[in-house]
A and B are shown apart, each in its own frame.
Chain A
Amino acid sequence: MGPEERVSESYRGLARETPGASLDAAILAASRRALRPSAARRWGAPVSIAAVLVLAFGLTLEMRHEEPGIESSPPARPLPATPASPPPEPAAREPEPVKAAPALAPRSQAVARPAKPVPARPAKESKPVAVVKDKKEAVPPAERDAPAAFPAAPAAPPAPAPQGQSADRFAPAPLRTEPSTAKRPAAAEELNVAPAQAPRAKASADTLQRAQGAAVTSPEMRDLERIAQLRSAGRDAEADRALEDFRRDHPDYRIPEAMWERVKPR
């Protein structure tokens, strides 16, 4: 055995001290504790998720509160139909729509229900839209109740004014300004009116309202309407000349009373 080996051998003969059991336990516990996620790490993710959920829920609630305002225009479309719904609808203040679509009440009621939260505001704006919608939606009932209301007009040019009962039923609604403009192109298309005449029809909404009905698309009525416009503009001389021309061109045309009142010489 060499000297170094002797030392090593002697050293191995020394007491083999070891740490106490409590020290072992403390260190091993610390080693396990170190592997456990800290409270911040453990709760960080759940708390973050909860915060996001709460935020999303809050935003959703907030948006639901704002919903009526945001959607005021889309649901407002059917709103004018609310007049048709009998008693408590705020839009029932307007007499015209009430007259206009009595037969549409059931359907329009259902559509108008979402518009309740915004009763007054959309009244003006929604009028035209509502009429258009009413027309669309009312087509089946209208056809059922008065199927000849529109088709009949071109078929009977001499009596274009809405004098019949079925015409009366639709007259009030078209008399309003926007609806007439909205309806105009459709009517023109139906009657194969030249496209160039459509813009002229837009010239005066008021005039066009009065000329509502299928008759308004007839050439005679358009001429008369032009004369009426001249008359209302105070250009009586021109109106007189145009009226004479009209009589010359259409000697046997019977001018409706209402139109005659507007175009007669003054």
Chain B
Amino acid sequence: MEPSDEELMLAYAGGDAGAFETLYARHKGPVFRYVLRSVKARGEADELFQDVWMRAIEARGRYRPEAKFTTWLYTIAHHRLIDHWRARGLALVSLDDEESSVEEPRAGPASEPARMHEARETARRLEAAIAALPLAQREAFLLHHEGELTVAGIAAATGANEEAAKSRLRYAMKKLQEALDDDGT
């Protein structure tokens, strides 16, 4: 039986370098995609991704197994993204009243011919739809699908209450469905 993320993190904090390698191998892809799809630029994503793991390494002594490792790791990632956006004059918009601020999916995929149902094309449209989501909704969606966080985990990682996290995720899913339906029908 493979050790859990929490056990590996504790082992690494105790001096086991191999434990971190296992942990990194498990989560590097999801975290990288979470960052990459949040900032949309590979160069920035690389820098942010490295910062996230460096912060995790530095904070290894403060890790407590009471917190789920992925929640702890994505909290670090979320804070790093907040810093990134603040540096660019951006901020997460409130999602409680975000319905009015939801951006429409970009034109393009939706204007494709209805018969183009190839999986690759659908994925591209979905990717575009995700990129068009408001930051908070997109983050909730990515945390759920990449980090496999529950609503409670999303709330914990983003510092929001569960209702807000649930709302963000619901709105994100709805918009993505619409984007797919629009293109597919």
Task: Enumerate chain A interface residues (CB-CB to B < 8 A).
Answer: 3-4, 6-8, 10-11, 13-20, 23-24, 26-28, 30-32, 34-35
Q: Is the CB of B32 within 8 A of A28?
A: no
Closest to B124 in A: A14
Contact A4-B177, Cβ < 8 Å, known A18-B28, A24-B28, A30-B57: yes
Interface CB pairs A-B, < 8 A, 6: A15-B127, A18-B28, A23-B50, A27-B28, A31-B20, A35-B12
Partner among B21, B119, B177 whose Cβ is within 8 Å of the Cβ of A31: B21
* Nearest CB in chain B: distance from A224 CB, A: 95
- Which of chain B's residues 165-185 have a Cβ closer than 8 Å to chain A? 173, 176-177, 180-181
Closest to A7 in B: B176
- Which of chain B's residues 46-74 have a Cβ closer than 8 Å to chain A? 46, 49-50, 53-54, 57-58, 60
Inside 8 A of B173's CB, which chain A residues have their CB? 3-4, 7
Determine the main DSSP class of B at the interface with A: helix
Inside 8 A of B53's CB, which chain A residues have their CB? 27, 30-31
* Nearest CB in chain B: distance from A191 CB, A: 84
Partner among A6, A8, A13, A23 whose Cβ is within 8 Å of the Cβ of B123: A13
* Nearest CB in chain A: distance from B9 CB, A: 11
Inside 8 A of B36's CB, which chain A residues have their CB? 17
Closest to A31 in B: B20
Give Cα A265 to B175, complex, Å. 145
* Nearest CB in chain B: distance from A235 CB, A: 96
Q: Is the CB of A31 within 8 A of B57?
A: yes
Inside 8 A of A18's CB, which chain B residues have their CB? 28-29, 32
Give Cα A7 to B170, complex, Å. 12
Q: Is the CB of A34 within 8 A of B60?
A: yes
Inside 8 A of A4's CB, which chain B residues have their CB? 173, 177
Contact A7-B180, Cβ < 8 Å, known A20-B46, A23-B49, A26-B50: yes
Give Cα A79 to B97, complex, Å. 105
Give Cα A13 to B124, complex, Å. 9
Q: Is the CB of A28 within 8 A of B176?
A: no
Q: Is the CB of A31 within 8 A of B17?
A: yes
Inside 8 A of A31's CB, which chain B residues have their CB? 12, 17, 20-21, 24, 53, 57
Closest to A3 in B: B177
B113 in the interface (beta carbon within 8 A): no
Nearest first, the 6 A-B pairs at minimum CB distance are A3-B177, A13-B123, A31-B20, A27-B53, A10-B126, A7-B176
Closest to B174 in A: A3
Contact A27-B29, Cβ < 8 Å, known A11-B126, A19-B49: no
